[in-house]
Amino acid sequence: MDFSTVADDFFVNLNLETALALPKNRETVLHFCEAVQKEFSSMTGFFQRETGEFVLEGDRHSGSYLWMELQPNRLTAGHFNPPDLQQAYRFLRWLLDRSTYFLGVSALDVECVDLMFGFNLDFKGNRDAIVAEALLDGSRFGALMSEQYARPVECQPSFIVAIDEECSLQARLSIETHSNSFQVRTGQYDEEPISVYFTIREYPASGRLLNIKESFPRQCETCEDIACRVIVPQVIRPLSTAIASAR
């Protein structure tokens, strides 16, 4: 499935969490970021946040760009609006492979790895009402909407399920509406989207280390499969239909 066709924006993110802090000395950070920039030449924006994180990214105004961030115990990265999934996977796989050489990450150090598919659906209006209508209408949970004067001001469902016997492989679905009660009360809505995040996380199984080179392709396959069978038809398309009917 071409996921870019079912949402206004589609992105693929990676999150690698470590038990020990990642290197933060100037020489190591620059050496790693220079290697990344050499391989992915569009990533020319480099800076350090006030809170200490190092960021390397492409041009955010281009519509499609790569980004990477080094946090104390986390390497995060992503491809926003990738031309295809394989290009996003290549970038993230490259970072995982080089994290061993440049950052000293080993299987003993890995706490978990996340692969996330993100979908942005643009709507200027009560985005919580859209989510409630599309996903909760007719459900027991949505019965609260039958109360007099009821208007959704926060409807951001999120839940996690284990998808293996040991609970080491987990799937999380979460929705963010980027709105608040002030916007609902005043009718002054901003341009933020409804964001749907679908994440496959893998932890080390009991008594075993997590091999990130083996885990990543497994997570890619699982994320694609469930996104095609469940997330797009049961979440994205109903939201898109509700948005279209509200415009």
Q: What is the C-alpha separation between 29 and 39, in angstroms, rounded?
A: 16
| pLDDT tens for each residue of 62-108 | 999 999 999 999 999 999 999 999 999 999 999 999 999 999 999 99
* Mean of per-residue pLDDT scores for the chain: 94
Q: Say which range, 31-40, 59-68, 103-112, 136-145, has the weakest mean pLDDT.
A: 136-145
End-to-end CA distance of the chain: 27
Average pLDDT value for residue range 120-127: 95
pLDDT at 209: 93
The tokens for 56 are: 């390397």
Q: Is the pLDDT of residue 148 over 80?
A: no
pLDDT at 141: 85
Strands (E), 21-83: 45-48, 54-57, 65-71, 74-80
pLDDT at 63: 92
Q: Say which range, 40-54, 122-136, 139-153, 207-221, has the weakest mean pLDDT.
A: 139-153
- Neighbouring CB atoms inside 10 A of 175's CB total 22
pLDDT at 30: 96
Q: Are the C-beta atoms of residues 67 and 13 closer than 8 Å to each other?
A: no
pLDDT at 151: 84
**How distant, in Å, are the alpha carbons of 66, 105, 122 from that of 30?**
18, 17, 37
User: How sure is the predictor about 142, in pLDDT bands with cuts at 50, 70 and 90?
Assistant: confident
Q: What is the C-alpha separation between 245 and 247, in angstroms, rounded?
A: 6
Query: Helices in the chain by DSSP H: which ranges?
Result: 26-39, 85-103, 127-131, 181-186, 212-226, 237-246
Burial class (CB in 10 A: 0-12, 13-18, 19+), 146: exposed
| Three-state DSSP state, 182 | helix
pLDDT at 181: 87
Residue in the structure block whose two tokens are 């492989």: 169
| pLDDT tens for each residue of 191-234 | 899 999 999 999 999 889 999 989 999 999 999 999 999 999 99
Average pLDDT value for residue range 166-185: 93
pLDDT at 140: 87
